[in-house]
A and B are shown apart, each in its own frame.
Chain A
Amino acid sequence: LAKTTQPISMDSYEGQEVNITCSHNNIATNDYITWYQQFPSQGPRFIIQGYKTKVTNEVASLFIPADRKSSTLSLPRVSLSDTAVYYCLVGAANQAGTALIFGKGTTLSVSS
């Protein structure tokens, strides 16, 4: 499984756009990139998943360059409630029996 590297922590203010970049130099051809959000004492919550280029949903965008060795999670106009740990994971998507291996994650702190 490809190893991921993310910043340990980031700080932001309400209303700003936050971009969290994840490095995954050894990503395999059939690997997808998935981001999860975790609040204290809760299970991780799925945010977004992509394979290449750009993916957007109602909460975030995911930018993946052509070489797929990195990816950037973009959170538009963050609020205090976006303070959480964000995990970037790489692995074969939606493949039966495939667990997700978590890295250290990025702790995002949003201030007013």
Chain B
Amino acid sequence: GAVVSQHPSWVICKSGTSVKIECRSLDFQATTMFWYRQFPKQSLMLMATSNEGSKATYEQGVEKDKFLINHASLTLSTLTVTSAHPEDSSFYICSAEDGNSPLHFGNGTRLTVT
């Protein structure tokens, strides 16, 4: 089955620094990847849609200059949280689709900003 790998699984960083999260589709090519954020005891919130070779589309209220998304290849999308602050601490989850099967999700990245 389709496997989506996310790295790192957890990261702790200091306020003001940037953190990059990788999302890879291991056994299929993903023309589109999606990034979600999940706060404790809450549901997943869609942040942005990432298409290979083009600019990401961000959901309303998500700062594109703070959450930089790059989808340079059909198997890799990255989310960079720039100048992270404690309120950015959350669980970030990516998903990828190939258009032929249900969305598959990565195992998430727990970001803690101190």
**A residues engaging B (CB < 8 A)?**
34, 36, 41-46, 49, 87, 93-105
In chain B, positions 66-114 with a C-beta closer than 8 Å to chain A are: 91, 93, 95, 97, 99-108, 110
Q: Is the CB of A43 within 8 A of B107?
A: yes
| Closest CB in chain B relative to A86 CB, distance in Å | 12
**Across-interface contacts of A95 in B (CB, < 8 A):** 99
Interface of A is mostly: loop
Cβ of B26 within 8 Å of any chain A Cβ, yes or no, is: no
How far, in whole Å, are A95 and B22 apart by their CA atoms in the complex? 24
Give B contacts to A, CB under 8 Å.
Answer: 4, 6, 31-32, 34, 36, 43-46, 49, 51, 91, 93, 95, 97, 99-108, 110
Does B110 contact A41, Cβ atoms closer than 8 Å? yes
Q: Is the CB of A97 within 8 A of B32?
A: yes
Taking the closest CB of chain A, its distance from the CB of B54, in whole angstroms, is 11
Q: Which residues of A contact B100 (CB under 8 A)?
A: 94
Sample of 28 A–B contacts (CB below 8 Å): A34-B102, A41-B108, A41-B110, A42-B108, A43-B93, A43-B95, A43-B105, A43-B106, A43-B108, A44-B93, A46-B102, A46-B104, A49-B102, A94-B99, A94-B100, A94-B101, A94-B102, A95-B99, A96-B32, A96-B99, A97-B31, A98-B97, A99-B103, A100-B34, A100-B46, A100-B103, A101-B46, A102-B45
